[in-house]
Structure 1
Amino acid sequence: MPTIYDVAREAGVSAATVSRVLNGQRTVDPDMVARVLTAVRELNYRPNAVARNLRRSRTTLWAVIISDIGNPFFTDTVRGIEDVAQQAGYSIVLCNSDENPAKEETYVTAALSEQMAGVIISSSGSAKAAKTLLDSPVPVVAIDRVLPRGTVDTVVVDNEAAARTATRHLLESGYERIACITGPEGVSTADLRLRGYVDALAVEPVVARTDFREQGGYDAMAGLLASPSRPDAVFVTNNLMTVGALRCLADRGIDVPGEMGLVGFDEIPWADLVRPSLTTVAQPTYELGRMAARLLVDRIAAPSAKPATVVLPAELRPRQSSTRPSPAS
């Protein structure tokens, strides 16, 4: 990768002159400006963003890296972040990793190279991205999911307790063979919600792991329906997979809640509107975002303080999808 010194040598000027040209100073001879710009173009030189930001005051931008911009969970969460950021004099840059560790790594690198004032991240599970953040001086707050292989300020809900409550609710409703559709192994929300489900059971768990996406939920539900020991209820550990599971049940003509009870994790805006209405575990999404932003403001002010973990409660909202009809008399 060419340096400022390579540009200076190609243009026949000093590195200081190259710097003045690239910073837009008007005191440089036009002929030198032309030579520098020609050298920049021919060498495909890109100014070092870290060095540029070190020379000027720290930015007032936060990178907010979320795992799936298509997930309604993040709508209120990001609003909570933004409201606190604005009050504290910061703006946010929203980045969507799309549950893709490689994209997450790219966004982390960009956030650090642009000398962002801080990063709030819902990790897709990339250990490399986590290490890059942990090795940097930039303040970091993890939200929704624990950052792999490191300790930073973190805001989550009590995933294990909420999943345990949801599973017990299905048991108390009379369902006996309860399956769980959860996300990828190593992602904290997937693993902790699975653990809560297992803790609530007195029988062998039935688990389908997939990718936290709607099609993944559909395919996982189809696999469970094809099983010789088909479940009579399912606990689904995020909203998009819940939509996929419901679509699969509708396509197969499976009656909910008569033939299959269902509880989804994450509230869905239309949960009360569909028939049967959908039982969900609702997270305090706005408060998650607000608290994460508050922690980041505090971390910027006190970089050496001990990392804090905030665990918020989630709420089971029982509706028709988990209410088993009484047997006909």
Structure 2
Amino acid sequence: MVTLAEVARRAKVTAATVSNALHNPQKVKPATLERVMAAIRELGYRPNLTARALASGRTSTLALMLSNVTNPFYPEFVLAAEREARKRGYFLLVCNTDDDPATTRAYLEQIAGTLAAGVIVMNTDLGERELAQTARNGAAVVLCMWEHVRASRTLPCVTADFAAAGSLAAEHLSELGHRKFGALVGVGSGGPQSRRLGGFAQALAARGHPERALAVAESRDTIESGYETASALLRARPTLTSLFATNDLMAIGAMQAAADLGKRVPNDLSVVGLTDIHLAHQFRPALTTVRFPTQRIAAQTIALTLEMIEGGSAARSVYTVGEPELVVRESTGPAPVARRKSAT
């Protein structure tokens, strides 16, 4: 690797002059600046960002910690966040914790405040109190897309209206004439997706559906677990005509389970997911889902992190960004007439 000292020797200047040429070019005479830049091009010099961060105590890197990079929602979020960070002159370092608290702690200890000036934490098994210690050690810490978050003076959170998302799904199914509902509730490193379920159940109650009309089962938020859980639920409750899954992966698994049980989607069973990952419209039948404003959430998260880095504090602790949106596709339809009559 070419060093700054080698560039200085080639340009016949001091190392300090090379540093100024890179970071404060207005302090360098035009002829000298041109000579330094020519040496950089000839030698193929690239700054060592890690060494610079350790030496100066400042870095242009943000860390994004997520629980499982195989979940399609996270790469889509990362893409939006990386674009926003790059526009503002920062790099984004993605840290996959694999739902392991020890890995999460190791990342925090090794990068927070040194390699990364700010840390964005998505779902994790660590609590706010433990994460707050990272903030006290000098890094800006922002929570993102936490479903269960309390107002905190130290850790702001950018999130979505999960309850409203569940309500939209319930209203859609009710308007289609469904009277018997199933729900698959995801349980991951961030805990159960219960606010989504709460919004769904409350919207059903507001429309006059009795509590017994809803059958609930918990599932890991994967296609495989959605398949297994939906299979068991549909066998136990064969008269269900609709199913809400608190994320798209489980909803896709549920549609596969319905097909293997001889149920047609949406003729026999309507299925609604939540988040609107790319796979939702690529699957067949295309999945009706509730879309989160992912790009707006990512942009707000990056902006808030940089605000904390530069200003030291956030104006308030919980930022609920945008409104969820129902996206109707092919996986939902009117309730089967015979079942609708028998339910009334």
SS at match of 1:155: strand
SS at match of 2:112: helix
Distance (Å, rounded) in 1 between the aligned partners of 2:117 and 2:275? 30
Amino acid at match of 1:130: L
Q: Mean Cα displacement is larger for which, 250-259 or 291-300?
A: 250-259
Distance (Å, rounded) in 2 between the aligned partners of 1:199 and 1:280? 18
Distance (Å, rounded) in 1 between the aligned partners of 2:175 and 2:189? 30
Q: Counterpart in 2 of 1:82?
A: 82
Q: Counterpart in 2 of 1:282?
A: 291
Distance 1:87 1:273, change over 3 A: closer
User: Would you say the 8 A contact 1:125–1:148 is kept in 2?
Assistant: no
Instruction: Indicate yes or no: 2:218 matched with 1:215.
Output: no
User: Would you say the 8 A contact 1:104–1:129 is kept in 2?
Assistant: no
Residue of 223, 233, 239 corresponding to 2:242? 233
Q: What's the TM-score once normalised by structure 2's chain length?
A: 0.72
Distance (Å, rounded) in 1 between the aligned partners of 2:323 and 2:192? 14
User: Would you say the 8 A contact 2:118–2:309 is kept in 1?
Assistant: yes
Instruction: Provide the aligned length of Structure 1 versus Structure 2.
Output: 281
Q: Counterpart in 1 of 2:184?
A: 181
Superimposed CA distance per residue, residues 259-303 of structure 1 (whole angstroms, 9 cap, x where no aligned partner): 211100021324445443321111122221111101111111111
User: Would you say the 8 A contact 2:124–2:189 is kept in 1?
Assistant: no
Q: Counterpart in 2 of 1:133?
A: 134
Q: What's the TM-score once normalised by structure 1's chain length?
A: 0.75
User: Would you say the 8 A contact 1:143–1:292 is kept in 2?
Assistant: yes
Amino acid at match of 1:137: G
1:141 positional shift: 1.5
User: Would you say the 8 A contact 2:268–2:336 is kept in 1?
Assistant: no
SS at match of 2:306: helix
Amino acid at match of 1:57: G
SS at match of 2:193: helix
Structure 1, gaps ≥5 residues long? 1-24, 26-51
Q: Counterpart in 1 of 2:166?
A: 163
Instruction: Indicate yes or no: 2:254 matched with 1:245.
Output: yes
1:129 positional shift: 5.0
Q: Counterpart in 2 of 1:190?
A: 193
1:107 positional shift: 2.5
Distance (Å, rounded) in 1 between the aligned partners of 2:53 and 2:119? 16
Distance (Å, rounded) in 2 between the aligned partners of 1:100 and 1:216? 19
Distance (Å, rounded) in 2 between the aligned partners of 1:102 and 1:56? 29
User: Would you say the 8 A contact 1:181–1:217 is kept in 2?
Assistant: yes
Q: Counterpart in 1 of 2:30?
A: none
1:54 positional shift: 6.3
Matches within 5 A, 1:113-124: 114-124=114-124
Instruction: Indicate yes or no: 2:164 matched with 1:154.
Output: no
Structure 2, gaps ≥5 residues long? 6-51, 339-344
Q: Counterpart in 2 of 1:310?
A: 319
Q: CA RMSD in A?
A: 3.0
User: Would you say the 8 A contact 1:271–1:278 is kept in 2?
Assistant: yes
Identity of aligned residues (%): 30
Distance (Å, rounded) in 2 between the aligned partners of 1:253 and 1:106? 48
